[in-house]
Structure 1
Amino acid sequence: MSGTQAREEQFVDASTQPETRGIEVIGDAERHGRARDLFFVWAAPGVSILNFTIGATLILLGLEIWQAIAVIVAASLLWVFPGVIAASGPAAGTSGSVVTRAMYGILGNKLFVAFVGWFIGAVFLSLTWLASSFMGADLLRRVGLDDPVWVPIGVTIVVSAVTILVAIFGHGLILRIYPILAIVLFVIFIVVSGFILPTVDWQYTAPEPLGGVELWSAVSIGFTILASTPLSFINSPDIARYLPRTTRPADIAAATALGGALPFIVFTSVGVLLATGLKASAFDAGIDVALFDLLPEWLGPVLVIGVVLNTIALNAMTTYTSSMALQAIGFRLKRIPAAIIVGVVGTALTIYLVLSSSLLQAANLMLQFLVIVSGPAMAIFVVDVLRRRYVYDSVDLFDTRRGAAFWFTGGWSIPGVAALVLGGFVTAVCLSTDVWSGPIAASIGHIDLSVPLGMIVAATVYALLSRTRLGKEERP
């Protein structure tokens, strides 16, 4: 598809009909919206029970309340990165999975998007569907439906079907309903938090206070778990791409970052406080079960509704952007069939996890391993948009011929691929999890430096190599 062909078709971006547009370039006449609209789009997915779960994990790691909250605030600063790259969407007028051709080359980008678009997309679909499956199943168990297999599977299928439907209607519906969802979810979770606060042990101290290397190990592991959320949203350009080309990148960055960071800080901190009032047996049963036991009978179903709405908000966005990733790879699919395929894969993975793990175990392991890919990829994207100053030519991005601007070396951008591989390698050897501890992490007392070192290496390698002949773009 050439840039000219991409502009010829006309699409309607409305909340009342399915969006047929995929990665096609959005012409200036079709641009609409304001940067501040993005705040609620990112806030709705962020009001999540997953934040409660992650916050509770920080207490399990042995941190004091103030230490855990300090780590949360530090990790929330990483939301600036999805904000920075979001403005590349309006600049190019297309999906971020097409913009990354400028970083990895025409062929290299196919592999990158296949892995990142599918891996990160499928993991987050399954992880958030998992939360609603566990809580929905627990609620139904309390009213007599206690089949341990078919009840959670049934909840998963119903929630995923609604999610896929929202993704099919696409951008227009997301812009229309997400502000409403954000307000409803905020009210529900604030009410839930109100019932959690009386159970908080404000004098809480860790059973075995940490110090020295042990403290830094717990802090760094907690930071990595938290960092995986903002660093995974490399799809932020997809949501912003309809904005007018003249929209200020700083405004887009601020709305995106604040929309993601504020609920992240508030409700992850509530998760920290929740954990101080729970016994060890409560963690073994699951955070979802523990929450139900703390709430009055009438509020349990309301919380489940909130979890389901949040799941739909987050996963509809993920399914929506992942469908365009399939198109960018080169599959000759319209966006709607692609969205259905992504949703079916995510549903299958969720059902497997429902039958094989707990929410806490699944969340911690998946979130830590995600940074091996997401951290370096985010660093490379940020360097690219800053060095180009948000100048992306859509004609060049859609020119996939040999010798085109982003063909680079045999279709591969050596700077981008080398930075991603080296950054991922450094991340892996510095990572510390229950099932894997990299040699560097192990040698320094399991202090996890995977996120900062992996991102620094990826950004440095890409910035330096892009200035050489390896990063030269071919133009007539």
Structure 2
Amino acid sequence: MSQTQSPEVDFVDTASRPETRGIELIDDAERHGRARDLFFIWAAPNVSILNLTIGATLILLGLEVWQSIAVIVAASLLWVFPGIIAGSGPASGTSGSVVTRAMYGILGNKLFVAFVGWFIGAVFLSLTWLASSFMGADLLRRAGMDDPVWVPIGVTLVVATVTVLVAIFGHGLILRAYPYMAAALFIIFLLVAAFILPTVDWQYAAPEPLSGAALWSSMTIGFTILASTPLSFINSPDIARYLPRTSKPSQIAAATALGGAVPFIVFTSVGVLLATGLSVAAFDAGIDVALLDLLPAWLGPVLVIGVVINTIALNAMTTYTSSMALQAIGFRLRRIPAAIIVGVVGTALTIYLVLSSSLLEAANLMLQFLVIVSGPAMAIFVVDVLMRRYAYDGVELFDDHAGGRFWYTAGWSIPGLTALLLGGLATALCLATNVWVGPIAEATGFIDLSVPVGMLVAGGLYAGLQRTALGRQGRP
């Protein structure tokens, strides 16, 4: 069977049965939906406990409330990038993990998807499952089930199973269910925010106000942590690929970017406000535990339900797209078995983390390291989309023979891979974390410029090399 064909002649994208289609091309006759539908699909995963957690981190970094909000707004602007690349889905009729063959070559893309796509997917699967595991286990502990090992493992297994089931049913269920999930999550988290507000210290001032290099260090480190979320969604074409080919890229970009950015700003800011009323002991116990302590007894379980819904929304999307990444790598798997494999790997990593770290530690460290791969990869994707003006031929993307349009140099795109490697190196040199401080970050007083420098190096190199003979091989 050719990858350009659907595995079922009578395929229908519906919420009532599992989606068997993977990376196969979607015919124009099967396209449906409106660009604006993407708003709620992206809103549901981003009404998140993880946003509350990383918002609280900004206060821990020593920032004032207004400084924290400024960093959040600056980072939210990066949501325009997943919006821009989302239009490549309906333009090509296939997933983003296939579209990137235009950037890295037929063989080079296998390496890119195997490392970058899977790394990003594994991080977010584990972090969001970790959040629901911690909060679910703490709620059960309060009810008398206090086994420190098997309770969080049990919560992880239950949530992971439901998540994989949603991913198996795929795009049709996501399109149908996510608007309702987004509405429920908005109500739950706004209710939680209402009970948080009385605890907020509206006169809050940092114990030791920062200035100069120390202030810029905290603001840039916070920006890097926040930037990792929008920059990680190089899977946005997968969700948009069923839209009609005539859908306007500008409308796709607006719906995707706003769907991600609005809840990102609102609930990360709520995390900042929450942190102003917490003691050092509360931080040490964990944001998840502290939050449950602040709420009335009846609202705690409602919040945990909200966290679980959000976890399923985000991780079902991640599992769904990661299953297609497995196919793009070259594994002879149908999408459903691939989704199950992704779920098993993510569950195993989550169980390891839930037994060995706190949510705050895991989130901050993993999100900072994530930008080493996600920033340069996003920059290259955006540059390629803009240079091609969304001119992606799905049939040519599946031509994996020597001499095909995207075969480049023995199957490898020198411009794409060079830009990715050097962009990642530049990011690492400018990164400042608890376990790694790049020499440039150290020389500047721990100012973390990893995101802008890495993206500028990767995007600039790629644009320049694409104008050489090496890049023109794959141009229209």
TM range (shorter): over 0.9
Aligned partner of 2:192 in structure 1 is 192
Q: Is 2:90 the counterpart of 1:61?
A: no
Q: Amino acid of the residue matched to residue 414 of structure 2?
A: I
Q: Is 2:374 the counterpart of 1:364?
A: no
Distance in 2 (CA, whole Å) between partners of 1:394 and 1:294 is: 52
Distance in 2 (CA, whole Å) between partners of 1:443 and 1:475 is: 41
Consecutive unaligned residues of structure 2, counting only runs of 5 or more, are: none
Aligned partner of 2:147 in structure 1 is 147
Q: Return closer, same or farther for 1:296/1:331 CA change in 2, 3 Å cut-off.
A: same
The answer to whether the Cα contact below 8 Å between 1:89 and 1:238 also exists between their aligned partners in 2 is yes
Consecutive unaligned residues of structure 1, counting only runs of 5 or more, are: none
Aligned partner of 2:48 in structure 1 is 48
Equivalent residue runs for 1:368-379 within 5 Å: 368-379=368-379
TM-score, L = length of structure 2 = 0.99
Q: Return closer, same or farther for 1:3/1:468 CA change in 2, 3 Å cut-off.
A: farther
TM-score, L = length of structure 1 = 0.99
The answer to whether the Cα contact below 8 Å between 1:3 and 1:395 also exists between their aligned partners in 2 is no
Q: Amino acid of the residue matched to residue 297 of structure 1?
A: A
Q: Return closer, same or farther for 1:346/1:4 CA change in 2, 3 Å cut-off.
A: closer
Q: Amino acid of the residue matched to residue 273 of structure 2?
A: L
| SS of structure 2 residue aligned to 1:38 | helix
By how many angstroms is 1:102 displaced?
0.2
Distance in 1 (CA, whole Å) between partners of 2:414 and 2:257 is: 30
Aligned partner of 1:164 in structure 2 is 164
Aligned partner of 1:451 in structure 2 is 451
Aligned partner of 2:286 in structure 1 is 286
Aligned partner of 1:87 in structure 2 is 87
Aligned partner of 1:347 in structure 2 is 347
Distance in 2 (CA, whole Å) between partners of 1:428 and 1:460 is: 17
Equivalent residue runs for 1:72-471 within 5 Å: 72-471=72-471
By how many angstroms is 1:156 displaced?
0.1
Cα-to-partner distance string for 1:233-285 (whole Å, 9 max, x where unaligned): 00000000000000000000000000000000000000000000000010000
The answer to whether the Cα contact below 8 Å between 1:15 and 1:173 also exists between their aligned partners in 2 is yes
By how many angstroms is 1:395 displaced?
1.2
Q: How many residues were matched structurally?
A: 476
Q: Amino acid of the residue matched to residue 426 of structure 1?
A: A
The answer to whether the Cα contact below 8 Å between 1:3 and 1:394 also exists between their aligned partners in 2 is no
The answer to whether the Cα contact below 8 Å between 1:7 and 1:25 also exists between their aligned partners in 2 is no
By how many angstroms is 1:5 displaced?
4.3
Distance in 2 (CA, whole Å) between partners of 1:293 and 1:3 is: 52
| SS of structure 2 residue aligned to 1:18 | coil
Q: Amino acid of the residue matched to residue 79 of structure 1?
A: W
Distance in 1 (CA, whole Å) between partners of 2:475 and 2:74 is: 42
Distance in 1 (CA, whole Å) between partners of 2:374 and 2:25 is: 26
By how many angstroms is 1:151 displaced?
0.1
Cα-to-partner distance string for 1:435-468 (whole Å, 9 max, x where unaligned): 1000000000000000000000000000000011
Q: Amino acid of the residue matched to residue 455 of structure 1?
A: M
| SS of structure 1 residue aligned to 2:238 | helix
By how many angstroms is 1:472 displaced?
2.6
Distance in 2 (CA, whole Å) between partners of 1:195 and 1:384 is: 46
By how many angstroms is 1:473 displaced?
2.2
Q: Amino acid of the residue matched to residue 11 of structure 1?
A: F
By how many angstroms is 1:89 displaced?
0.1
| SS of structure 2 residue aligned to 1:406 | coil
Q: Amino acid of the residue matched to residue 375 of structure 2?
A: G
| SS of structure 1 residue aligned to 2:400 | coil
Q: Amino acid of the residue matched to residue 217 of structure 2?
A: S
By how many angstroms is 1:227 displaced?
0.1
| SS of structure 1 residue aligned to 2:35 | coil
Q: Amino acid of the residue matched to residue 280 of structure 2?
A: A
By how many angstroms is 1:9 displaced?
4.2
| Superposed structure 1 runs of 4+ greater than 4 Å apart | 1-10
Q: Amino acid of the residue matched to residue 117 of structure 1?
A: G
Equivalent residue runs for 1:9-48 within 5 Å: 9-48=9-48
| SS of structure 2 residue aligned to 1:210 | coil
Distance in 2 (CA, whole Å) between partners of 1:6 and 1:259 is: 30
Cα-to-partner distance string for 1:368-393 (whole Å, 9 max, x where unaligned): 00000000000000000000000101
By how many angstroms is 1:21 displaced?
0.3
Distance in 2 (CA, whole Å) between partners of 1:399 and 1:7 is: 18
Q: Amino acid of the residue matched to residue 160 of structure 1?
A: A
The answer to whether the Cα contact below 8 Å between 2:102 and 2:474 also exists between their aligned partners in 1 is no
By how many angstroms is 1:403 displaced?
1.3
| Bigger shift: residues 463-472 or 359-368 | 463-472
| SS of structure 2 residue aligned to 1:36 | helix
By how many angstroms is 1:402 displaced?
1.0
The answer to whether the Cα contact below 8 Å between 1:404 and 1:475 also exists between their aligned partners in 2 is no
The answer to whether the Cα contact below 8 Å between 1:431 and 1:441 also exists between their aligned partners in 2 is yes
Distance in 2 (CA, whole Å) between partners of 1:10 and 1:326 is: 24
Q: Amino acid of the residue matched to residue 342 of structure 1?
A: V
Distance in 2 (CA, whole Å) between partners of 1:114 and 1:364 is: 24
Distance in 1 (CA, whole Å) between partners of 2:262 and 2:325 is: 28
Distance in 2 (CA, whole Å) between partners of 1:475 and 1:218 is: 42
